[in-house]
Chain A
Amino acid sequence: MNEGKGEEVELIKDGKRLDGRGFEEFRPLKIEVGVLKRADGSCYLELGDNKVIAAVYGPREMHPRHAQDAKMAVVKYRYNMAPFSVDDRKRPGPDRRSVEISKVSREALDPVIIKEYYPKMAIEVYVEMLQSDAGTRTAGINAASVALADAGIPMTDLVSSIAVGKIGGEVVLDLNAVEDNYGEADMPIAMIARTNTITALQMDGRMTKDEFERGLKLAMGACQQIYALQRAALIERYSKSKEGEE
């Protein structure tokens, strides 16, 4: 993401981060399922000041037709930032950054989706960033994963995602915008919590091998907690139906 502008910012004071979090704490996570009426599956998610909405359509007919796959469905993923999601107005439309994020996010979710169930179809995932405060791709993947489940798409698992980074010489979990801009490294990770399988990993900046391993461990632990929250959000939607008859 953005490089620091050469100036030094003190990101850690008295063993706490600027927003008062500890090193191994991620921002408050709020997940709501089924927020869009017209989508087949949807999810609204807040990770601190990040506000994300994910919508899943399909399986439905794949356009353009020549891109159809006769044996399986095609997964489409669009990551898009609203013009008002950042401090300076973002020029609307896809750009180099959002195309890349769309690609890595799609590949993060791809391994869990059973595409063979829907030959020739497309499964479309639209992820809109309404407000952004660093770590939006991880928030997007978390939301998309829940929305896919809500759409009734057959999947082997949910995917959970979080970033780790290095600020002021410390390895910390889930950077916010200031930490991201003035920190030394940022590393978003997506994984399948149940099997500890990493489906996406990127790194921007420098970390030693030791820091990398510590960061990875930290992120994996956090993904377990995020997975629990995603699961709880889905279960809660039908909590009224805990007891019932057929």
Chain B
Amino acid sequence: MRRMYKVVVPGDFISDKENRAGEGTYVEEGKVYALCYGIVEEREEIKVVALSGKYVPSKGDVVIGRIVEISYPYWIVDIASPYEARLHISECGGGAEKLDFGSMSRFLDVEDFIVAKVIQVNVLMRIDLALKEEFKRGSGGRLVEIPHTKVPRVIGRNGSMIKMLKEKCNCFIFIAKNGRILIRGREADMNLASMVILKIADEAHTSGLTDRVANFLDSFSRDDEEK
């Protein structure tokens, strides 16, 4: 479905419907104004989706994090945000082995990656994670990082873009809320998938992207067959 993109800058008047003001907006004297530089999205709520900016986690987000430090009883995790998150030892091991200071690194060491869910963000921006999956460096797979603001574009409307990517690249693709993307598959397929994802992130603000990506992927599979 095609529709107009409306780019706004901070302070732009958007609407009179004060009670529908959503994320990225503020209300002054009953009027809704833009709070950031972005694109207006008007459904039940009036939102401004920022075109840039840093990722700030909120409860329930699934993120891919990198262990940066071990500080008993926590692992300190970089989640592509200005704020660091932490993962408690009770999240690990399933109770089979009691983890202490020395043995933490055997389970998860610095530079290992995890898929985790944000279970709590408190007022001091202390972020607690729940472990979903861990993967060591060199265990196969590819990690691609894009700005978190481009994530909705890679997923596409109702997941159309990601569905197409998975089918045509024949890969397992997991997109985390913080802009990190995990790809697993054959080497050549992973190359293609990561290249296309970076292309999508690069052209995120242009129109007709899903069609263009589809054509691009088709031209690739045809090349494959000719070989």
Q: Could you list which residues of chain A lie within 8 angstroms of chain B, going by C-beta atoms?
A: 40-41, 58-61, 70, 112, 114, 117-121, 149-158, 192, 194, 230-231, 234-235, 238, 240-246
Contacts and interface: CB of A to CB of B under 8 A. Distances in A.
Contacts of B37: 149-150, 152, 234
B1 to A, nearest CB: 6
A40 B50 CA distance: 13
Contact of A156 (B5, B33, B51, B52): B33
Nearest to A239: B7
B54 A152 contact: yes
Contacts of A246: 1, 3, 152-153, 156-157
Given A40-B54, A152-B51, A154-B35, A244 B2 contact: yes
Given A155-B10, A243-B5, A244-B5, A119 B53 contact: no
B193 interface: no
**Interchain residue pairs A-B with the least CB separation, the first 4:** A152-B53, A244-B207, A157-B11, A152-B52
B35 to A, nearest CB: 5
A238 B51 contact: yes
A243 B4 contact: yes
A156 B54 contact: no
5 contacts: A60-B82, A118-B56, A151-B52, A154-B10, A244-B209
A59 B11 contact: no
Contact of B1 (A120, A151, A242, A245): A245
Contacts of B11: 112, 155-158, 192, 194
Interface string B107-148: 000000000000000011100000000000000000000000
Contacts of A112: 10-11
Contacts of A119: 123-125
B5 A242 contact: yes
A151 B37 CA distance: 8
B210 interface: yes
A149 B9 contact: yes
A234 B208 contact: no
Interface in B1-51: 1-5, 7, 9-12, 24, 26, 28, 33, 35-39, 50-51
A245 B56 contact: no
Contacts of B124: 70, 119-120
Interface size on B, as a range, is 35 or more
Contact of B56 (A70, A117, A230): A117
A171 B7 CA distance: 38
B37 to A, nearest CB: 4
Contacts of A234: 7, 9, 37
B210 A156 contact: no
B53 A242 contact: no
A142 to B, nearest CB: 13
A41 B52 contact: yes
B205 A240 contact: yes
Given A58-B82, A120-B125, A245 B157 contact: yes
B206 interface: yes
A230 B12 CA distance: 12
Contacts of A154: 10, 24, 35-36
B1 A153 contact: no
Contacts of A149: 9-10, 36-37
B82 A121 contact: yes
Given A40-B54, A119-B125, A245-B1, 6 more contacts: A112-B11, A118-B54, A235-B9, A240-B205, A244-B209, A246-B156
Contacts of B156: 246
A143 to B, nearest CB: 15
